[in-house]
């Protein structure tokens, strides 16, 4: 009995044996941690489990001349003719709806005088317009907290094709005339180009 107790005491007091035991437990713990990490990393997200589909980006607009949304969806055949006709590649196919749309922050509408996109539409999803001033894609909204007009920026003013944006140099604020704004998105694009982030965004008209 005494010999057994002596062997036990010897094992507990052996530094090498203690280190081996510690390393063995550490490796087991690390292995379990790695397994948990891999399991959670490879697990599908809630969105993928529930939908398993592409999520549509927001902030898109319909091309010039687009009729009311419900009517547009009924008339548009997703042929892509307006996309092909756009000389500036501003119109693209939306991923989910597969209908034409414009992302103003990426490639704004250049308001072509002859509206090739409208002329290419044979189903009247895009209706003829008399001139550029009749376009109503949306309205430009300015975030005062983000706008750098107070630091001297007024790049959006000179680039607006309809003179809808003005600069009040007395108080260094940018103003948008809703009556003149057609929602082309050029201001949003320019703002995002010359600043870290765009202070202007185009809000689509109610659909």
Within-domain flag for 61: no
* Domain match, 36 and 91 both: no
Label residue 170 by pLDDT band (50, 70, 90): confident
Within-domain flag for 59: no
Task: Give the pLDDT score at 50.
Answer: 47
Task: Give the pLDDT score at 23.
Answer: 56
Closest of 132, 140, 137 to residue 175, by C-alpha: 140
Alpha helices in the chain (DSSP H): 2-12, 15-42, 46-50, 69-75, 81-85, 116-120, 155-159, 186-194
Predicted confidence (pLDDT) per residue in 133-165, tens digit: 999 999 999 998 999 999 989 999 999 999 999
- Model confidence at 29: pLDDT above 90: no
Percent above pLDDT 70 for the chain: 71
* Domain match, 31 and 121 both: no
Mean pLDDT of the chain: 82
How is residue 187 written in tokens? 């201001």
Task: Give the pLDDT score at 43.
Answer: 47
* Domain match, 74 and 141 both: yes
Measured in degrees and rounded to the nearest 5, phi and psi for residue 102 equal: -125, 130
Element (H, E) at 142: strand 138-142
Sign of CA dihedral 185, 101, 103, 119: negative
Total number of residues shown for the chain: 207
Question: 158 in helix, strand or coil?
Answer: helix
Question: 143 in helix, strand or coil?
Answer: coil
Task: Give the pLDDT score at 76.
Answer: 98
Q: Which of the pair, 197 or 44, is modelled with greater confidence?
A: 197
DSSP-assigned states of every residue in 7-59:
HHHHHHT-HHHHHHHHHHHHHHHHHHHHHHHHHHHHSPPHHHHHT-SPPPPS-
Predicted confidence (pLDDT) per residue in 102-121, tens digit: 999 999 999 999 999 999 99
Q: Please calculate the CA angle 111-157-191 and round it to the nearest 5 degrees.
A: 80
Label residue 127 by pLDDT band (50, 70, 90): very high
* Domain match, 111 and 198 both: yes
Task: Give the pLDDT score at 21.
Answer: 59
Overall number of domains in the chain: 2
* Domain match, 142 and 190 both: yes
Q: What is the DSSP letter of 69?
A: H
* Domain match, 92 and 164 both: yes
Task: Give the pLDDT score at 57.
Answer: 67
Identify whether the C-beta of residue 171 lies closer than 8 Å to the C-beta of residue 154. no
Label residue 89 by pLDDT band (50, 70, 90): very high
Q: What is the DSSP letter of 122?
A: S
Q: What is the DSSP letter of 170?
A: T
Domain CATH number, residue 128: 3.30.70
Domain extent for 26: 2-43
CA separation for the pair 195, 193 (Å, rounded): 6
């Amino acid at each position: 009995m005494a010999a057994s107790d002596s062997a036990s005491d010897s094992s507990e007091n052996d530094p090498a044996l203690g280190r081996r035991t510690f390393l063995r437990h550490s490796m087991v713990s690390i292995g379990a941690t790695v397994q948990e990490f891999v399991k959670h990393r490879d697990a599908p997200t809630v969105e993928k489990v529930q939908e398993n589909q592409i999520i549509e980006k927001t902030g898109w607009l319909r091309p010039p001349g687009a009729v009311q949304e419900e009517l547009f969806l009924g008339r548009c055949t997703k042929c892509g003719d307006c996309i092909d006709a756009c000389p500036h590649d501003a119109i693209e196919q939306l991923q989910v709806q597969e209908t034409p749309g414009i992302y103003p922050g990426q490639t704004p509408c250049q308001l072509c005088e002859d509206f090739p996109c409208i002329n290419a539409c044979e189903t009247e999803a895009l209706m003829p317009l008399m001139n550029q001033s009749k376009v109503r894609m949306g309205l430009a909204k300015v975030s005062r907290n983000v706008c750098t007009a107070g630091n001297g920026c007024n790049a959006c003013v000179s680039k607006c094709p309809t003179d809808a944006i003005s600069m009040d140099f007395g108080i260094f604020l940018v103003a948008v005339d809703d009556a003149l704004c057609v929602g082309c998105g050029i201001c949003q694009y320019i703002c995002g180009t010359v600043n870290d982030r765009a202070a202007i965004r185009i809000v689509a008209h109610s659909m």
